[in-house]
Amino acid sequence: MIRMLSQLASLLPGIIALVAALLVAALFAWALAIILRRSLAGIDFDRRVVQAGFPAEWSPSKSPTLLVTRAVAWTVMLVGFLVGISAFDLDLTSQLVARLFNYLPNVLAAVVVLIAGGLIARFLARSVLIGAVNLNLQYARLLSIGVKWLVTVLAVTIAIEHLGIGGGIIRLAFGILFGGIVLALALAVGLGSKELVSRSLDREANKASTQNVQEPIGHL
């Protein structure tokens, strides 16, 4: 009993140091978050980021500023936690930090892939939507959503693979999902919707050619 109490007592300074480090980190994170939020609001960060094509719905309360401030605050908290842990055992902390830093490039790569994937998905979806509307395709919205989700799923799969989560299962699941979608579309076009698709394509082709021949319209 005495031995156990003495062991607990020996841990007490470490616990106090951890709590103190977390408190200081929390204070620091809070102050930093406020400064950052005001600075970003000053430069109209939300509007600029959304204009650049970043999907606002990926952020809490649809605010990229909130996303950045929270990410910075939690990073400060994580650093504070590591400083606190170092009070217990220096070796353990250095091992943890080493592992964390080894893993960090994967996290960064995953974040970059997700952001790039989001931007590309949005750009392609909008391109397809506008192009399909201008071609008078009734299913323009459906095409656009399909493209958006396809690129997004691809980006998420690549990001997860970078993080080393799931290993081969993710790759296999994506293969099955992607292959399944393509097969389903091929079957739908080849069997069920063959006539519908051909009628639709005929209608579009006829529409374009009739307009070309009959309309006495010039633009320039």
Partner 1 sequence: MELDAIAEPELERIAKLGGADLVVGVLYPQRAEETNGTGNAVLPMIREALAELPKVARTVVVCNNGAVPITADDESLPVVSCSFAPPGPSESLQQRVFSAYRTVLKTGEQIGARGCAFIVSPSQSATHHWISRLLQPVLELGFDLVAPRYTRHKMEGLLNRSILAPLHRALYGQQLHNPMGPDFGLSGKLAQRVLVQAPRSNPLASMASAAASGAFQICETHLGARIQESTDWTNLSSLLAEVLGPVFLEIEKQASLWQSLRGSRPLPAFGSSGPLSEDGQTVDTRPMIESFHLGAQNLSDVWGLFLPPTTLLELRKLSRLPADQFRMPDELWVRIVYDFALGHRLRTVNRDHLLRSITPLYLGWIASYALEMAAAGPLEVESGLERLSRAYETNKAYLVSRWRWPDRFNP
> Where do contacts with partner 1 occur on this chain (CB under 8 A)?
51, 53, 123, 126-127, 129-131, 133-136, 138, 140-141, 144, 207-208, 211-212, 214-220
- To which residue do tokens 């616990």 refer? 15
Query: Using N-to-C axis directions, what is the helix angle for 140-163 and 168-187, rounded to 10°?
Result: 160
Phi, psi of 172 (to 5 degrees): -65, -45
- To which residue do tokens 């949005």 refer? 122
Tell me the CB-side half-sphere exposure of residue 144, using CA atoms within 13 A. 16
Which pair of tokens denotes residue 114?
């997700």
Report DSSP letters for 60-91, one per residue. Answer: GGG-HHHHHHHHHHHHHHHHHHHHHHHTT-HH
Identify the helix (H) or strand (E) that includes residue 44: none
CB of 127 to partner 1, least distance (A): 7
- To which residue do tokens 């396809």 refer? 150
Which pair of tokens denotes residue 202?
């005929």
CB of 57 to partner 1, least distance (A): 12
CB of 136 to partner 1, least distance (A): 6
Is the CB of 56 or the CB of 153 nearer to partner 1?
56
Is the CB of 6 or the CB of 51 nearer to partner 1?
51
Is the CB of 94 or the CB of 127 nearer to partner 1?
127
Q: How far apart are CA 94 and CA 99, in angstroms?
A: 9
Is the CB of 79 or the CB of 119 nearer to partner 1?
119
CB of 39 to partner 1, least distance (A): 19
Is the CB of 40 or the CB of 85 nearer to partner 1?
40
Q: How far apart are CA 19 and CA 118, in angstroms?
A: 38
Is the CB of 77 or the CB of 145 nearer to partner 1?
145
CB of 207 to partner 1, least distance (A): 6
CB of 220 to partner 1, least distance (A): 6
